[in-house]
Structure 1
């Protein structure tokens, strides 16, 4: 699964060929899975499901029948399966070779289970459980859900059905053993409208005309897999396809009228299959890989790795020349790379329980970067790992953090596990471990791991053992430290000498924290930290353990103690060393430039060093730097400008400095895309325009206004990759007439992506009255069931307090607009940009209204606001002092 919010994504602006059978590795019997958590009695496990559903899309209900072949492993008076929002009308249990016996059904909504009790205790053996039931079709992405969107040709409202089962929602589709360790094969069939396309994990095996405009579609038997990977969808769709590998067809399924919008994604999807098959040493075991474009959005996820039938929201899959930005095109590539990596890491080999979710998500995040670097090295994707590291550290530095491998027992705890610790810290730690083991040893270990555990379940220790055996002694202890201990190592340089061309660096380990500085200074957590240290030449590998160490490295150049930025730790230099790095900044490797910028800005902001040296380092980035580095540096300035919101004179002075460095780069790139330019340059243009628009640069704001005015004569005047960038500037500075014009455009659009983006823009104005109008509009049916939440998020950007109060005042209606997994996080996050001290008390009141196991998101916002209130005045003073000390 890929998690990215709709607002962030925009701002970044059926085969039947057979393949050779693959020998299936039998997983351990779930009844013997000692130490693996379960919500179910470990007395039975499934081997095969036969499920048939008949959706009633109009009335948002469905009926179903299910047969589960299972084995009872010890005598039991009843069977317990997961079931949620299902009405089971009848059930029978049939022993192998025996007669069906009636059973009583007891539903327990609190535990999301159904108990099936026979007249006599069940002896060990094989059985078949048959059920008849009905369920609901949701309007948010939980279980079987509906998405309404405008037909791309006629504009008529159209409805498609999709499923989303991760983490605990397959139980909304049929009674199931809905935990990852209970793997089984699936036969799925559905009764659907004759004119529509139905899609599942496997190709269609048979279609039967039932008359009255209906058909029964039966899909091929799936591979052995966990229940959360099952997929079903049906709608007015079309499909582009091509061969990905011998016997494997790749397809993009999208709403009718999409035409060639899926071609870019298809051409990027197909090569991933042989690439991953070779890297992991295991062939792709299904005859097809579809990626289904779903109109709409979710506040919880952007794409899901259902085996052979990936679900991706349309805004991150289709390439529409009228609105798709350079950043969005890159996101198409990286999201597909992430989800296809899951076909091996997650689907073929699956974590035993959600505590090891990072085995799915951290590895898919790491692999998406590796794959993108393979196919698009000119995009500099490895530099983005620094951004990922920072996202993780922004959570990991607080006391509300958790280890990568965390204890998970409830549904709420599972849902909260999909965060930057699981994804981005996971990727950062894997990158560090790969560097420690070496690329070839690391890959050999992964291949052995895949070979030994395919079609089964694992825990983190299984992977470490495989890599160690491949030739990386000591890796397990390092990996265990970084996956079971929360927090961030702090590596401090305590001394440096250079004699005869050799630098000797003295190091001390501590712990970096945002809200526990005194506590960790007195008693820091200790890790075994792999280091890569350089002094202008080849880096030296070493391990820092026991709190102190010394490393010698050739060269007397500026020392970088996290060379290549592959280590997950903060690097604190002496003032003299940092000054030397500042002087050398233009000549350093781009990855070290961006890593040093972000590391030192955080160290200064959090009080580990003065602010001036960090801004000196930032100011040393030349205006002609690598486009990714330029974007990072420029983003730091924009963030600083926002912090000076109550200091208009300082804001103006900062804008003058920023303009002097970066405005020439923007003018060189120009306001119009150029034929043949690189994607990073195209994305940098959008980044600079957006940032200068935010800071009120008169040239950029005037250009946005000019382009918007042109829409009155030509509705397509703004079409192109910068459309969302320019419109965002207009929306921020919107008048009532502008706001009304955007609303009219949104209502008239026949593009689901454009429509949801335009409605979201209505929440962006700095004008409080217009933002309120957007919030009120979000509670109507006009924006669409999955767009309203994004409008409210947009409103919170500049009006956090009003938006939070609005959400609490309309809590039941707001929660209906958000996926069940996201409700607590969604409401709490609306307060993120508040500067009102009273907000913390409001959040504490809100926290009291949610289950204790669901409260971590609230605590995170409270912690962030508390620390920001302390840090902001110091940051503002440090920045204004730095500006005052600089010449104009």
Structure 2
């Protein structure tokens, strides 16, 4: 699953297939030992036969389910998960025996249904049959509906989809809805004859019924966890190509999408042979579809259902009228992430959600590796620095958690989808791969896949496989970084260079944002793999195992103690070393340029050093730097400019510095996209235009207004990869007339993606009255059920206090606009950009209204705002002092 972060970390105060025999193996009791469960561990399923009849108009469905299961010890009843289901009938049939009625007891709090027979059940095989009804949601929980404009007629149409991760398959049928309970699935559906039905497997049989209906029966799935089941239905079209012998790749999209799906399909198909070879296991299904859902979620952007990935249309289809360079890259990386899950997560699945990172961290890591393989000119490996820094933005607070965390409730499961699981997971994996070596690492992964396919694992199973492949000592390092929260701090306490050899004295501590005194007195200790380099010399690899160490490296500098930025730790240098690094900055590797800036800004913000050295390093990034590096550095300066919002003179001075370095790069790129230009140049153009637009650059704002005015005579005047960029600038500076014009454009658009974008723009004006109008519009039916939340988020960008108050005043309506998984996170995050210390008390009051197990997102925002209140004045002083000292 690709998730969407709602809480910012304020770094700067800113057809049937034959199923292998192994797939039929029952639940392994030893594998389940010690694994959490909400259910009595007295039975397990082997096969489900589910048939549903959805009524899309009424937003209800009926269903029947037969579960083949085995009772492993005598029990008075069977308990399965069930939520928002009304079970009409239920019978239990022992193997070779007669059906017997059972009574059904529903428990909404535990989300279970208990089936009790007249006499206790003996060990053996049974079949549980139920008939039931359920609801079709309007947010992405269980079976849900999305309304969108037909691309040809503009008529409102409705599609149905499912989203089951983590705990929502139980909304579709009574199930053993935990990852360790794997089973095969037979799914059929009675649906309108004119619509396309899609599931994990190809259609095995299709029968025409009376009344314009048909019954679609899909092939039997491989053995899999319940959360990977998928069903979709709508007025769709599908384009395909061969991905591998016997495997068809397809993109399913709303009718009229046509060639908009071609780019995604061409990127999807090669992933199957690439991952099959890398993991040493062939893709086990006959098809891989990616289904475009014309809506959005505040919780996730794509889901890895086996053979039937669900991705929201805005990050799957390539519409030349609106798709930006960044969006094209996101199509590739999102698919790479979800297809990686077909192995890491689907073929081999974590036993319980505490090891969710075995799915998400590895999919994030493989997404980057695959993108680097197919598109090295996009410099995707550089993005790992940003991912690592995003994770550290959470991990430096006392509200953090280890990668492998204790999870017992549904609320705790939903909170596990965060930057620690994804980005810290990816960063730690990258570090461990560097420690083991690429070949040993891959060999270990292949053995892991081979030995555990169609089964469940825990983290230790992976470490054992890697060590056995030839990486002794890896388990100890991996255990440290996955079971301990927080971030190591590696400090250089001394350096000498004699006869071309540098000698470094290093000391390990712990980096923290909001508990520095505590960690200084008693820091955690990790076994930290180091890669130390001096200039162009060969890096030195060593392990810093707590305390102090001495490292020698050939060369006298510049010294980088996290060369390649593959280590998950902050690096604190001496002032003299920072001076050397500043001079060498233009010649350092791009990845080290990014890592050094990120580390030093964080260290300065958290009080480990003055701000001057961090700004020196940032300013030392040259105007001709790698486009990814340059875009990041420019973004840091734009963020700093925003923090100076109460000091126009200081803002003007900083703008002058920024413009002198970055405006020439924008002018060289030009305002118009160029044919066949590198994607990263196109993306940098957009980044620079957007940033200068934020800072009110006269040339950029005038150009945005000129182009917007052209829409009056030519509605397609802005079409192209920069459409969203120019319109964002217009929206920020919108007048009432501009706002009304954007609103009219949104209502008239036949593109679901464009409509969502335009409605969201209405929340972005700096004008408080227009932002208020957008919030009020979001509570009407006009934007659409899944767009309103995005409008409210947009309003919080420049008006966080007013938006938060509005959300609380309309809490019930607001919560209905958001997936169940993210309701608490969503409301708390709206106040996250506030600069008013009073917001902290508001959030504390809000926290008192939510269950204790759901409160972590609120605590995170409170922690960020508390630290922000302390550091924001220091940042402003540090920045202005630096500008004054440099005469900038």
- TM-score, scaled to structure 1: 0.98
Q: Give the CA deviation at 1:161.
A: 0.1
More divergent stretch after superposition (605-614 vs 82-91): 605-614
CA RMSD of aligned residues (A): 1.2
Preserved contact between residue 604 and residue 614 of structure 1 (Cα < 8 Å): yes
Q: 1:668 & 1:716 partners in 2: Cα distance? A: 26
Cα distance 1:52–1:28, how it changes in 2: closer, same or farther (>3 A)?
closer
Q: Distance in 2 between matches of 1:19 and 1:60?
A: 35
Residue by residue over 1:738-770, the C-alpha shift from the partner in whole angstroms, topping out at 9 and shown as x without a partner, is: 000000000000000000000000000000000
Matching residue of 2:505: 506
Q: Give, in whole Å, the separation in 2 of the partners of 1:541 and 1:284.
A: 37
| Cross-structure match for 1:800 | 800
Q: Do structure 1's residue 641 and structure 2's residue 641 form an aligned pair?
A: yes
Match of 2:171 in 1: 172
Corresponding residue for 2:134? 135
Residue 184 (str. 1) matches residue 203 (str. 2): no
Confirm or deny: 8 A CA contact 2:60 2:133 kept in the other structure.
Answer: yes
**Residue 425 (str. 1) matches residue 424 (str. 2):** yes
Q: Counterpart of 1:212 in 2: which secondary structure? A: helix
**Aligned pair 1:721/2:737, yes or no?**
no
Further displaced range: 32-41 or 723-732? 32-41
Partner residue in 1 for 2:605: 605
CA distance in 1, matches of 2:692, 2:561: 34
Distance 1:386 1:22, change over 3 A: farther
1:409-457 Cα offsets, whole Å, 9 max, x none, are: 0000000000000000000000000000000000000000000000000
Shift of 1:34: 1.0
Match of 1:529 in 2: 528
Shift of residue 33 of structure 1?
Answer: 1.3
CA contact under 8 A between 1:30 and 1:42: conserved in structure 2?
A: no
Q: Does 1:328 align with 2:327?
A: yes
Aligned to 1:462: 461
Tell whether the 8 Å contact from 2:350 to 2:458 is kept in structure 1 after alignment.
Answer: yes
Q: Is the 8 A contact 2:31 2:456 kept in 1?
A: no
> 1:556: Cα distance to partner?
1.2
Aligned pairs for 1:350-429 within 5 A: 350-429=349-428
Q: Is this contact kept in 2: 1:6–1:299, CA < 8 A?
A: yes
Tell me which residue corresponds to 2:767. Answer: 767
Tell me, what secondary structure is at the counterpart of 2:261? Answer: helix
Conserved in 2, the CA contact under 8 Å of 1:149 and 1:158? Answer: yes
CA contact (8 A) 1:281 1:447 kept: yes
Q: Does 1:670 align with 2:670?
A: yes
Distance, in Å, in 2 between the alignment partners of 1:769 and 1:114 is 50
Total equivalences in the alignment: 881
- Give secondary structure in 2 for the equivalent of 1:302: strand
Are positions 1:281 and 2:280 aligned together? yes
Matches within 5 A, 1:53-452: 53-452=52-451
SS in 1 for 2:275: helix
Deviation at 1:29, TM superposition (A): 2.0
- Tell me how far 1:510 sits from its aligned partner: 0.4
DSSP-derived class of the 2:645 partner: coil
In 2, are the aligned partners of 1:362 and 1:426 still within 8 Å (CA)? Answer: yes
TM-score for both structures, normalised by structure 2: 0.98
- Distance 1:716-1:642 versus aligned 2 partners, 3 A rule: same
Cα distance in structure 2, aligned partners of 1:335 and 1:465: 29
Kindly state the Cα deviation for residue 5 of structure 1 after the two structures are TM-superposed: 6.0
Superposed CA offset, 1:800-830 (max 9, x none): 0100000000000000000000000000000
Q: Give secondary structure in 1 for the equivalent of 2:832.
A: coil
Q: Is the 8 A contact 1:209 1:215 kept in 2?
A: yes
Note the alpha carbon deviations across 1:39-82, whole angstroms, 9 max, x for none. Answer: 00000000000000000000000000000000000000000000
Q: CA deviation at 1:837?
A: 1.5
- Aligned twin of 2:12: none
User: Is the 2:5–2:418 contact (alpha carbons within 8 Å) kept by the matching residues of 1?
Assistant: no
| 2:617 counterpart of 1:627 | no
CA apart distance, 1:886: 1.9
Counterpart CA distance in 2 for 1:809 and 1:767 is 21
Give the match for residue 571 of structure 1.
Answer: 571
Shift of 1:21: 5.5
Change (3 A) 1:22 1:447: farther
Distance 1:19-1:874 versus aligned 2 partners, 3 A rule? same
CA distance 1:622–1:682, shift in 2 (3 Å)? same
Whole-angstrom distance in 2 between the partners of 1:787 and 1:646: 32
Alignment check: 8 A CA contact 2:17 2:220 kept: no
Q: Is the 8 A contact 2:27 2:44 kept in 1?
A: no
**CA deviations over 1:643-700 (Å, ceiling 9, x no partner):** 1011110000000000000000000000000011101100000000000000110100
Question: Structure 1 residues 884, 27: closer, same or farther in 2, change over 3 A?
Answer: farther
Deviation at 1:30, TM superposition (A): 4.7
Specify the SS of the correspondent of 1:54: strand
Q: What is residue 827 of structure 2 aligned with on the other side?
A: 827
Q: 1:840-879 to 2 correspondence within 5 Å? A: 840-879=840-879
Q: Does 1:654 align with 2:654?
A: yes
Q: Is the 8 A contact 1:27 1:453 kept in 2?
A: no
* Per-residue deviation, residues 167-226 of structure 1 (Å, max 9, x unmatched): 000000000000000000000000000000000000000000002110000000000000
2-side partners of 1:640 and 1:5: how far apart?
A: 21
**How much has 1:6 moved relative to structure 2?**
10
Change (3 A) 1:287 1:32: closer
Q: How far did 1:18 drift?
A: 6.0
Unaligned ranges ≥5, structure 1: 9-15
- Do 1:18 and 1:247's aligned partners in 2 also have CA atoms closer than 8 Å? no
Distance 1:382 1:147, change over 3 A: same
Q: Quote the Cα distance in structure 2 between the aligned partners of 1:343 and 1:555.
A: 45
CA distance in 2, matches of 1:60, 1:633: 48
In 2, are the aligned partners of 1:163 and 1:233 still within 8 Å (CA)? yes
User: In the TM superposition, what whole-angstrom CA distance separates every residue of 1:266-323 from its partner, at most 9, and x where no partner exists?
Assistant: 0000000000000000000000000000000000100000000000000000000000
Structure 2 CA distance, aligned partners of 1:194 and 1:379? 44
Q: Give 1:12's aligned residue.
A: none
| Alignment deviations for residues 569-614 of structure 1 (CA, whole Å, 9 cap, x no partner) | 0000000000100000000000000111111111111111000111
Q: Measure how far apart 1:384 and its partner are.
A: 0.2
Is the CA contact (8 Å cut-off) linking 2:150 and 2:750 kept in structure 1?
yes
| 1:13 counterpart residue number | none
Q: Does 596-605 or 116-125 show the bigger shift?
A: 596-605
The alignment status of 1:752 with 2:752, answered yes or no, reads: yes
- d(CA) in 2 for partners of 1:7 and 1:572? 27
Q: Deviations over 1:756-809 (max 9, x none)?
A: 000000000000000000000000000000000000000000000100000000
Measure the CA separation in 2 of the matches of 1:294 and 1:129: 33
Q: CA deviation at 1:244?
A: 0.1
Shift of 1:500: 1.7
- Please name the residue that 1:810 is paired with: 810
Q: Please report how far the alpha carbon of residue 19 of structure 1 lies from its aligned counterpart in structure 2 after TM superposition.
A: 7.6
Structure 2 unaligned residues grouped into runs of 5+: 9-14
Residue 11 of structure 1 corresponds to which residue in structure 2?
Answer: none
Counterpart CA distance in 2 for 1:657 and 1:152 is 46
Instruction: Give 2:519's aligned residue.
Output: 520
How many Å apart are 1:24 and its aligned residue? 3.7
